[in-house]
Copies of this chain bind each other. A is one copy, B any other.
Amino acid sequence: MGKSNLDLVKECDRFPYYADDPAFYTAHMRNYHAFRVNGCDANLGYMLNSVVKKLELPEGSWAIDSTNQTVTLMTDRDATPEQRSQLMAETLAVAVKRDTFEILRGWRNEKYPVYAPGGKFLLEVERSATPLFGFVSYGVHATCYVNDDNGLRLWIPRRSKTKQTYPGMLDNSVAGGMSTDEHPGECLVREAMEEASLPEDVVRKNSTAAGCVTYFYVRSAQAGGETDLLQPEVEYIYDLKLSADVVPKPCDSEVEQFYLMTVDEVQAALANGEFKPNCSVVLIDFFLRHGILTPENEPNFLDIISRIHRRLEFPTASHFEG
């Protein structure tokens, strides 16, 4: 008996819901401090109490309120994003030096953005550190598929066995994180070349924006680093319909090989737990939009759809260019 689609969704969307059990939710929240920034009236993430305890904060720069369980970055109310980012970076530099957190050994040298309500850019922080604060992270996933006389087939890569996260697991055709200042469409084009050797014109001509998936991930051992760190995520979704003669190929060292798999093969690999968790969610979303999963053949249709479009309880960016 393999994993159901709801099992796969729950591996990814693991944070409890208030409405499911208000008393449990309220008790569970005692495990966290809300991360806040002086001058911004919103929780920006939840930090495990154990992280708050271990993180050494430069004196006077942070305020910890043990009663309300908040940690506040005490830059001036009218500080610039650079000033806030600088203070975050100083704090993390100390943690790296003292090797306080296993997760920081996977330092990426990439900056991830944090937004205030209304999508206002507040600060940026090293990518590998975002789960320490529980910040929302943003990425792009594209499903490359062929739909011809041979039926619907999907291009599925296997991750390199040397990747620091989820080594050797199956992945989505194109998937990557969005750095500060990057927009979803640009990120798609960049990652499609880096991970699948697909040229920009092919991507622009054949891609359709198809919404997003959102979920509240709680990191497992597979993810590397400390477990139970929080990682609420937004993945912008694209469908990339290719003719059978366009063959994605590994470009960098992150992908080992691409397979052109039938829907049955993908579903079997999903049930077998072969996919990186958030890739399962994106494939399930693809199947829901393309008439593969229907209310009549998926017993958890409604619960799945709402959980993979979870309303995150933190401000998010719009990435609006208008």
- Whether, in the assembled complex, A321 has its beta carbon less than 8 Å from a beta carbon of chain B, the answer is yes
- Whether, in the assembled complex, A179 has its beta carbon less than 8 Å from a beta carbon of chain B, the answer is no
Checking B236, B300, B305 against A212 with a beta-carbon cut-off of 8 angstroms, the contacting residue is B305
- Whether, in the assembled complex, A211 has its beta carbon less than 8 Å from a beta carbon of chain B, the answer is yes
Within 8 A of B (CB), among A275-311: 288-291, 293-303, 305-311
- Whether, in the assembled complex, A184 has its beta carbon less than 8 Å from a beta carbon of chain B, the answer is yes
Given contacts A19-B18, A306-B310, A312-B306, contact A295 B210 (CB under 8 A): no
Q: Give a binary string over A180-208; 1 marks a CB under 8 Å from any B CB, 0 the rest.
A: 00011100000000000000000000011
A18 to B301 CA separation, bound complex (whole angstroms): 24
Quick check: A302 and B212 within 8 Å, CB to CB?
A: yes
Residues in B with CB closer than 8 Å to A298 are: 318, 320
Could you say how many copies of this chain the assembly holds?
2
Residues in B with CB closer than 8 Å to A307 are: 311
- Whether, in the assembled complex, A322 has its beta carbon less than 8 Å from a beta carbon of chain B, the answer is yes
- Whether, in the assembled complex, A65 has its beta carbon less than 8 Å from a beta carbon of chain B, the answer is no
A307 to B298 CA separation, bound complex (whole angstroms): 22
Residues in B with CB closer than 8 Å to A318 are: 295, 298-302
- Whether, in the assembled complex, A244 has its beta carbon less than 8 Å from a beta carbon of chain B, the answer is no
Q: Whose C-beta in chain B lies nearest to the C-beta of A302?
A: B316
- Whether, in the assembled complex, A209 has its beta carbon less than 8 Å from a beta carbon of chain B, the answer is yes
What distance in Å separates the Cβ of A298 from its nearest Cβ neighbour in chain B?
A: 7
A300 to B311 CA separation, bound complex (whole angstroms): 13
Greatest chain B CB density within 10 A among A211, A293, A306, A311 is at A211
Checking B290, B309, B317 against A306 with a beta-carbon cut-off of 8 angstroms, the contacting residue is B309
Quick check: B319 and A301 within 8 Å, CB to CB?
A: yes
Checking B210, B214, B295 against A289 with a beta-carbon cut-off of 8 angstroms, the contacting residue is B210
Quick check: A19 and B295 within 8 Å, CB to CB?
A: no
Quick check: B19 and A306 within 8 Å, CB to CB?
A: no
Residues in B with CB closer than 8 Å to A252 are: none
A312 to B309 CA separation, bound complex (whole angstroms): 12
Residues in B with CB closer than 8 Å to A19 are: 18, 311, 313
- Whether, in the assembled complex, A107 has its beta carbon less than 8 Å from a beta carbon of chain B, the answer is no
What distance in Å separates the Cβ of A156 from its nearest Cβ neighbour in chain B?
A: 22
Checking B291, B299, B308, B320 against A299 with a beta-carbon cut-off of 8 angstroms, the contacting residue is B320
- Whether, in the assembled complex, A87 has its beta carbon less than 8 Å from a beta carbon of chain B, the answer is no
Given contacts A184-B296, A299-B318, A318-B300, contact A291 B17 (CB under 8 A): no
Q: Whose C-beta in chain B lies nearest to the C-beta of A308?
A: B309
A295 to B212 CA separation, bound complex (whole angstroms): 9
Contacts A119-B299, A183-B296, A295-B319 supplied; 7 other A-B pairs, CB < 8 Å: A185-B294, A208-B290, A210-B288, A289-B289, A295-B318, A303-B311, A303-B316
Could you list 7 examples of A-B contacts with CB < 8 Å? A19-B313, A209-B295, A212-B295, A297-B321, A299-B322, A310-B311, A311-B311
Chain A to chain B: the 10 pairs with minimum beta-carbon distance, closest first:
A309-B309, A306-B311, A19-B313, A208-B291, A209-B294, A299-B320, A295-B319, A296-B321, A209-B291, A211-B288
